Every structure is written in structure tokens, then in C-alpha cells.
Structure 1
């Protein structure tokens, strides 16, 4: 019987690879080194500190006045509204102007326009330009334009403070120049 030529070449290669797998390939040296290092390395376990003592806290204010009592809060609010003697408040019955729909920080001053005896500020919101004069309302805080110069628009806003009273606050829009 005749053995094919490719099989004759494959048998010695197979035998050689089987014999190569029988050796340890230096594995015993690594095992000996690991054993030596383990025997020389001291084991150190850090000491755990004592746990802190828990001291319970007793709340002594449970029998005192409740600051969040709803009846107390409503009485205080009614008293504050009765004491508002400043008389300052916005006109809520007037018709809103177009620039009152936008927050003040989204409005940009892009220029001025002067007609005989009257100055207009050119104010841009998104891509729309509005003309505004002294006395026009602007922003969402009942702001009114009080003065227009070449470089800025001064505004007087009426806002509520923390106690619920209306107060005046000044703001201004400065000319935005295109920087190229």
C-alpha cells in the first residue's frame, strides 16, 4: 500500500509538535521564583481603628412654635400685603407692547435713530428690529425705557422683592457692535 506524499511530510511535523509540548518551557523556573518571593515578603495587615461611638441626638424643639404652620403663614402674608404702603405697582390692565414678550437678556441694542425732537433705540430680538422710544415698555419685568443715548438704553423695571412688595430696579441695554 502506498502512503500519500503529503501524509509522509505531515507525520514528522506532527510528532515534533507533540514532543515540543512535553517540555515545561521554563515554567518550573517561574514557579520557583514565585515561591521564593512569597517566602521573603512579609505579610502586613493594618490595624483597624475602633468605630466611633454613636451618640443619639434628641430634638428639643418639637414642643416649641411650628414655623411652617399654614395658618401662621397666611396671617403673615395678609399682614404684609396690608402694610404695603409704597403704592408702587405695575399697571396690569394696560395693553402689552411687543417688546414685553421677550426677556431683557435676549434683546440687543443695535443702534439709534433720531428724528426732530425724538430719539428712537433700534432693538433687535432674534432677527427682528424694533423701534422704541422713551416711555415704551420692554422686557418681562414691567420695564419702561427712561432714557436713550447713542450707546445705551436705560430701563426702570418694577419687580417683586422677597417680601412680596413691588420695588424699582434699574437696568440698561448697551450698544452691541458687530465684531469681525
Structure 2
């Protein structure tokens, strides 16, 4: 059996050597690549000359800095002095209970009518308060100006971006009871 194996190896080895010597179709590919290399011409475009840098002297170093916060404060003070409308909230008056809550947390839940007087019922969390025309509500110095069956008109005094006091009208509408 060993003999047969040795003969088989001797017969197969020249065949393996001859099989490794073949070009396996790569010869045609190499010829094509060589032909393409010869025909292809490299074209590198010429690079243009760089632009010449001309320095410019900064002439604004002795002027007022435009980003200085003091400049903005001076401009706002000037605008405030020119537009002094005299409107501002009374900071010395005693605060009312409903001024401690933001308007978006207040709910109008009803009214109580008496002869010549209407009181609104305003709910905050689980507490209900009575309010009449002239009472203050909300955190922006809001005064109740009108009470109807459907809503409460409120005039607030707020500061704008320049620091001036302006009036703003808003409403607190009746909230329907959930069933």
C-alpha cells in the first residue's frame, strides 16, 4: 500500500508543477493594462499664482468700542428719559392675596351678583376667592377692570425691553365644570 502511495505522489507532482506554470488568463489583462498606460497622458493643470496679501491698518482703535455694555446702558437711559410716560405701578400699596399667583394658575369658576355689584369667583389650587372690579390679580400688577358672565378683563402693567412700563390687556375666561 505504501508503494502505491509513493507512485501516486511521483506521478502527481509533475502535474502540479506544470499547472502552477500556466498564466491562468492574466497575460491578456497585463497586455491591456500596458496598452492603456502607453496611451494615457497625464495632464496636470498649471496652478495660478497666489494673491498678494495687502495688510490694512485698523483705524478704529481710538473710537468707542461698539460692544461695550456701558454704551448700551447710556443709549437706554437716553431713550428712557425721552419717553418718560409717567406710567408705573404703585410699589407702596399693600399686596392682595391673588397677586401671589401667576395668571395662568388662576381660573374663573363663576360669579356672584348682588344689586349694583358683581364679584368673580377665582379658583387657585383648591381654594376659591372673591374678586371685584379694582382688585389686583397676577404677578404683573394686573387690575380687574370688568367682570362679565363669561370672563374677567384685566389691565396689567409690565416692563418692555427698554425698561419702560406699558399697559397690557388680558382676559381670564370662565372655566366650565368637568362632569
- Report the TM range for the smaller structure's normalisation: 0.5 to 0.7
Note the C-alpha offset of 1:87.
1.2
Q: Could you tell me which residue of structure 2 aligns to residue 164 of structure 1?
A: 163
Q: Shift of residue 86 of structure 1?
A: 1.3
Q: Which residue of 2 aligns with 1:174?
A: 173
Gaps of 5+ in 2: 1-56
Structure 1 unmatched runs, 5+: 1-59
Report the 3-state secondary structure (helix = DSSP H, G, I; strand = E; otherwise coil) of the residue aligned with 1:100: helix
- Post-superposition shift, 1:131? 0.2
Structure 2 match to 1:105: 104
Spell out the pairing of 1:142-161 with structure 2 (5 A cutoff). 142-161=141-160
Q: Deviations over 1:31-58 (max 9, x none)?
A: xxxxxxxxxxxxxxxxxxxxxxxxxxxx
Match of 2:18? none
Q: Which has the larger radius of gyration?
A: 2
TM-score w.r.t. structure 1 length? 0.62
Distance 1:177 1:69, change over 3 A: same
SS at the partner of 1:74? helix
Residues 133 and 70 (structure 1), Cα distance of their counterparts in 2 relative to 1, 3 Å cut:
same
Aligned to 2:24: none
Q: 1:70 to 1:175 in 2, by over 3 A?
A: same
Change in Cα spacing, 1:79 to 1:121, as seen in structure 2 (3 Å) is same
**CA distance, structure 2, for counterparts of residue 176 and residue 61 of structure 1:** 64
1:62–1:177 Cα change, 3 Å: farther
SS in 2 for 1:110: strand
Q: Secondary structure at the match of 2:120?
A: strand
- Cα deviations by residue, 1:93-118 (Å, 9 ceiling, x for unpaired): 10000000000000000000011111
Q: Give the Cα–Cα distance (whole angstroms) in 2 for the partners of residues 148 and 61 of structure 1.
A: 64
Distance 2:100 2:157 in 1: 16
How many corresponding residue pairs? 122
Would the aligned equivalents of 2:119 and 2:130 in 1 still touch at CA under 8 Å?
Answer: yes
